[in-house]
Each structure stands twice: as C-alpha cells, then as structure tokens.
Amino acid sequence: MPEALEVDVLIVGGGPAGLSAALRMAQLGKATGGRPLAIAVLEKAREAGAHMLSGAVLDPSSLRDLVPDYEAKGAPVSTPVGEDRVYVLTPSGKIRFPITPPPLKNHGHYIISLNRFVKWLAGLVEAEGVDLFTGFPGGELLMEGDAVVGVRTGPHGINKKGEHKATFEPGVEIRAKVTILADGVRGNLTKVLQGRLGLGAGRQPQLFAIGIKELWSVPPDRLAAGTVIHTMGYPLGFEQFGGGFIYAMPGGDISLGFVVGLDYKDPMFDPHDAFNRFKMHPFVRRLLDGGQLVRYGAKALPEGGWSTIPRCYADGALIVGDAAGFMNSMRLKGIHLAMRSGMLAAETAYEAVRDGDTSAARLQQFEQRVNDGPIKRELYPVRNVHQAFGHGLLAGLAYAGFALLTGGWWPRPMKSIPGHQRMEKLAAMPNRVTDASKPDRKITFDKVTNVHFSGTRHDEDQPSHLLVQTDVCHSICTEEYGNPCQRFCPANVYEMVMDAAASRLQINASNCVHCKTCDIMDPYQVITWVTPEGGGGPRYDGM
C-alpha cells in the first residue's frame, strides 16, 4: 500500500510564491488561534532554493507585508540598488538612455540572490512548523471529477527501462482540502489542470521568454556594488524582444544574463548564442575579462502579463506565482508579485478551509483579492505592453511610453500569439546568414560546459522526463525547422545524432536545467516536460 498523507493545504513548489503562501497561512493560524492547519510544501529540488533562478532585483513591497522585520530576521537583502543605467547596444558601441525609464527605476530595491532568499524564506516557513518536503516533485494531480483533491508525488528508483530498482519507492498520495499550485513557469501540474478545466478560456495565451544567467567573480573595481544595468539592441534585431542585464554585488560578484522572447521567427536562432554574443560585446567583455565563471543557469519567464493570466481557482485548487503568470514584464520583476499572489491565496485558502467550503465558487475570492489589491493595480495598466513589443522594439518602446501616460489604454485588447506559432519555416527564410559564434572558453562557453556550471545532476538510470513524439523529428521537423530544439534548449539536452545513415534525436535528459523552454517553444508542441526523480536538477547556489 503506498504511503498516504492528509493535510489541510498542500502547496506544490517551494519558490517565493509557494513559501509565501505557506508562511502567510501559518501566520494566520497563529493570529486567529484555534486548530492550526496542517500545511505541506512539495519541492522537487534536493534542498530549498536549489532550482531558483532570477536576475534578481527585488521590490520589497510584499516582503515588507509578509515579514515586517525582515532585516532583523536576517533576510539576505544586503545590496540596495545604487544606480540604474539603461543602454542601447550597437555591434561595437553603446548609447546610454538619457533618463532611466520610470519602470526601470529601482530606487529602494535590492539586488538579491533568489537562491539565498528562498533558502532564508524556507527557514522561516519550517520554523512555523510547516512540513517542507524537499526532493519530492508533484508528479500528478489527484482529481475527483473536476475537483483537485491532492497530488501524488513522483516515484523514486525506476530505471531507464521502467523497471523497479532496489531503491524503488512509489509516489506518495498527499490529499488536501486545498492544493495551491506554485509549480513555477509552465508548471507541469498547472499545465494539466489548465488544459483539463479550460482555465485559459476567454484569456489571451501566455507569452514566454527565456532568461540565461551567469554568476561571475571579477576584480572588485569593475563595477560599483548596487549598479543595475539593462541593455537593449545588440545582438538582437529590432524585431526581437529581449535584452541583457548586469547587476553588481559587493566583492566583485556580478550577475549577468540575457532574456529573449520565446516568440522569435528564425528557427536557427539560438538564445545561448545570443547570450555569448552579448558577453563578447566590448562593453560587457571589459567587465568580465580576467574574471571567472561561477554558476550558469536558465529559466523561462511568463511575460504575457495581465490579459494572459488564466482563471486561478478551481474546486480545491488555486494557482499562484509564475505558474499563473504574475509577472511584470515592463518592470522586469515578478518575485514580489509571486509572493503577493501566494499571500492572497493563503488568505483565501485559510478562510475556505476554516469554513469547510473549498469549492471553486468559494476560492474565487482569490481572484477578487487579486483584483482589489496591488497586483491588478500594477499589472492592469501595462497589460498591452508586452503584446506591443510583438510588433518590434520600436513599436514596443513607443507603446510603453504611451501606456505610462494613459494607464495602458488601447482601442481594443491587443492579441497574444503563442510564440511557437510565430516561428517561420526554413523555406520562408532563404536569405538568413548562419554564423554561430565559437566559444573562446574564457568568456564564452559551449552549452555542455555551461551545464557543468549549473551543478545539474540527475540519476542517469531513470526514464527520460522529456516525453517527445520523436517520429516528428526526422520526418518533417528537420526539413521544416531544422530541429530547433537543439538550439532553443540552453543545456544541450536535444541532439540530432547521425547513426549510420539515419538521424535520430538523442535526449540527454540528465543535462536538463528545468527551464521548460522546450515544452513552450517546440513548434509542433510534441515535447512534454514531466518531473524527473526527486532531487534531480540544477544546483543554483548563489543564483
């Protein structure tokens, strides 16, 4: 008989949204007295924070409400933002924006490591008596009709052939009155629930980007701690959404990365290659020269904003954080919204459990709280901005300015087109120039080397957690798109290998950094990301 556990509230995902939900709920229990709720948090990483990756600049507004004495409690927020700079890069030069656009002003914010921040938050959560199960992925939803009644964790100890190894442990059924899905961008459970209940009906489809980030240790005089730099332009063309970021921490620690919209047209485009070009730009290169790569990682981001957020409640379930898409792509921030959505979901779930009604009708109060509070206040006015960038950088910038003045007005809602549908076939791009850059192994690296620096580990002897209908790969994809999975994956998971005369797709699943890009960007939508054995994945120390 598999082990089973019953809790009042189950939270899937120990990121900023999930942990904020857990902490808020524990606080509510304490404040109102009575029977404390049984709360459990599932986290697929071996330890709290290990799969956390963000820039990151933290707007502390939600933190202040959740943990008012966060400084006394030792929150790792020691680098206040000092100076903001925005540049447009040309192939060899840079033009500084004369003023920092208001959404990119970070006065009063902190440069943080989300990995350390979440580790700290996890400590607070556990101190409140919440059970945090690290190393246990949410494998599948337990449903009764349209109601979510819990989650089954992924099993351990299954070999490549699907047979039980000596270490086999079946998944654990965790049944809950309310399940809060905080499974992150393109969360595997949220995706299933959204499809099954049609939670995206009447909303725009979500739009995504991929962020690739490295942590560097450089001579400390290169950039003053607290400096925040954002770049536009090179190496992207005007038609592409994206840009670079460089955040300076004390002691010569630099966090730099590159974000690219997952709606680019050229199937030969490679986000990792764009990141390398960004690093080879004279301006960036000068910062890194003589320094050392410390960590590498990648993660998708939900960029679509307000109009792409699905219905976030169902019978017995709520969706929070990146899983729902609570991110402000204009301010390049989502941690505070993830935390806020977690807190509001906790308040909703707490009352619902207390009153014994966890139906969708009751949990709809979460939506009300989102609409009445700071989340809508922040996201609604910029609801069309990312969509405007779909028409190119200049249109996007022009509309962004317009939206600031008008509160986001436009005659009709701007449409989102799913990014994978925008990819053009090779035949439609006859004149493209292929000139993939070659890594110098000092400043720039190939993907395989980069993966090593992500600390990623999976047990090799387990079934692939990337379910691919591979018959598409050689039959039509090679001809139509040139197998773009090889390029959009930042971790070299996908490789077309020539065996004798035929090519076959080799899936190096153990390289996977859990960024979800393949699940999002594959043009035929034949890749499904499911959770690997618990504990596997990157180790984003300090990211």
Partner 1 sequence: MILVVAEQRDGILNRATWETVAAAQQLADGSADRSIAIAILGSNTATAAKELAAAGAKDVQAVIVVDHAALELYTPDGYVAVLESLVADLKPSRVLLPHTYQTRDFAPMLAARLGRALVTDVMRMKTAGGDTVFVRPMFQGKLTADVSPQGPTPHLVTFQIGAFRGDQVTKGASPTPVRAMTVTLDAAAIREKPEPPFREARQAVDLSQAERIVAVGRGIKGQEHLPVAEKLAAALDAELAASRPICDAGWLPMERQVGSSGQTVAPKLYLALGISGAIQHLVGMKGARTIVAINKDPDAPMFEVADYGIVGDLFEIVPAMVSELTKT
Could you say whether residue 460 binds partner 1 (CB under 8 A)?
yes
Nearer to partner 1, 115 or 508 (CB): 508
Pick the binder of partner 1 from 96, 196, 442, 457 (CB under 8 A): 457
Could you write out the DSSP letters of every residue in 220-248? TTSS-TTEEEEEEETTS-TTS-EEEEEEE
Helix axes 365-372, 335-354, angle to 10 degrees: 140
The verdict on 441 binding partner 1 (CB under 8 A) reads yes
Distance CA 452, CA 479 (A): 32
Q: How many residues does the chain have?
A: 543
Distance CA 267, CA 379 (A): 31
- 3 or 146: whose CB is closer to partner 1? 3
**Nearer to partner 1 by C-beta: 14 or 310?**
14
The one segment of 128-136, 138-146, 302-310, 347-355 that binds partner 1 by CB under 8 A? 128-136
Please state whether beta strands 138-144 and 147-153 pair in parallel, antiparallel, or not at all (unpaired). antiparallel
* Binding flag, residue 64, partner 1 (CB under 8 A): no
- Amino acid found at 191: K
What count of other Cβ atoms lies within 10 Å of the Cβ of residue 454?
26
Q: Which of 110, 117, 120, 133 binds partner 1 (CB under 8 A)?
A: 133
- Closest approach of partner 1 to the CB of residue 127, in Å: 16
Question: Segment near partner 1 (CB under 8 A), from 15-23, 86-94, 127-135, 255-263?
Answer: 127-135
Single out the residue of 136, 245, 366, 399 in contact with partner 1 (rule: CB under 8 A). 136
- 8 A C-beta contact, residue 42 and residue 125: no
- The distance of closest approach from Cβ of residue 407 to partner 1 in the complex, given in angstroms and rounded to an integer, is 48
| Interaction between residue 508 and partner 1 (CB under 8 A) | yes
**440 lines the binding site for partner 1 (CB under 8 A):** no
Contact 419, 263 (CB under 8 A): yes
Interface with partner 1 includes 499 (CB under 8 A)?
Answer: yes
Tell me the closest approach of the beta carbon of residue 449 to partner 1, in angstroms.
5
Give the nearest distance from C-beta 135 to partner 1 in angstroms. Answer: 8
Other CB atoms within a 10 A radius of the CB of residue 364 amount to 16
Regarding 449 and contact with partner 1 (CB under 8 A), the answer is yes
**Distance of closest approach, residue 283 Cβ to partner 1, in angstroms:** 28
Could you tell me the two tokens for 217? 């240790």
193 within 8 A of 148, measured Cβ to Cβ: yes
Minimum gap (Å) between residue 510 Cβ and partner 1: 6
At residue 134, the 3 state secondary structure works out as strand
For residues 79 and 57, the answer to whether their CB atoms sit within 8 Å is no
SS (H, E, C) 286-314: HHHCCCEEEEEEEEEEECCCHHHCCCCEE
| Segment lying near partner 1 (by CB under 8 A), choices 13-21, 126-134, 391-399, 421-429 | 126-134
CB environment 514-541: b (16+ within 10 A), e (fewer) = bbbbbbbbbbeebbbbbbbbbbbbbbbb
Kindly state whether residue 296 participates in binding partner 1, applying the rule CB under 8 A: no
Query: Does residue 451 belong to the site contacting partner 1 (CB under 8 A)?
Result: yes
- Residue 276 belongs to what H/E stretch? helix 271-280
Four-residue CA torsion sign, 405, 332, 317, 186: positive
169 binds partner 1 (CB under 8 A): yes
- Of positions 409, 452, 471, 479, contacts partner 1 by CB under 8 A: 452
Q: What is the closest distance, in whole angstroms, from the C-beta atom of residue 28 to partner 1 in the complex?
A: 23
Q: Which residue shows structure tokens 């393109």?
A: 186
Residue 500 contacts partner 1 per CB under 8 A: yes
Nearest to 85 by CA among 252, 216, 231, 250: 231
**Cβ atoms within 10 Å of 504's Cβ, excluding its own:** 14
Give the shortest CB-301-to-partner 1 separation in angstroms.
Answer: 27
Give the one residue of 2, 3, 282, 372 binding partner 1; rule: CB under 8 A: 3
Q: Tell the smallest beta-carbon distance from residue 464 to partner 1 (Å).
A: 10
Q: Shortest gap between Cβ of 502 and partner 1 (angstroms)?
A: 12
> Where in 362-381 is the site for partner 1 (CB under 8 A)?
none
CB of 493 to partner 1, least distance (A): 12
Residue from 189, 257, 162 nearest 44 by CA? 189
Task: Considering the complex, state which of residue 172 and residue 319 has its C-beta at the smaller distance from partner 1.
Answer: 172
DSSP H helical ranges for 390-468: 393-406, 419-422, 447-453
> Per the omega criterion (within 30 degrees of 0), is the bond before 235 cis?
yes
User: Which of the ranges 19-27, 71-79, 271-279, 499-507 carries the binding residues for partner 1, by CB under 8 A?
Assistant: 499-507
Q: Is 131 in the site for partner 1 (CB under 8 A)?
A: yes
How many residues bind partner 1, per CB under 8 A?
Answer: 25
Report the nearest approach of partner 1 to the CB of residue 288 (Å). Answer: 19
Check residue 351 for interaction with partner 1 (CB under 8 A): no
Enumerate binding residues for partner 1 (CB under 8 A).
3, 5, 131, 133-136, 156, 169, 172, 441, 448-449, 451-452, 457-458, 460-461, 497, 499-500, 506, 508, 510
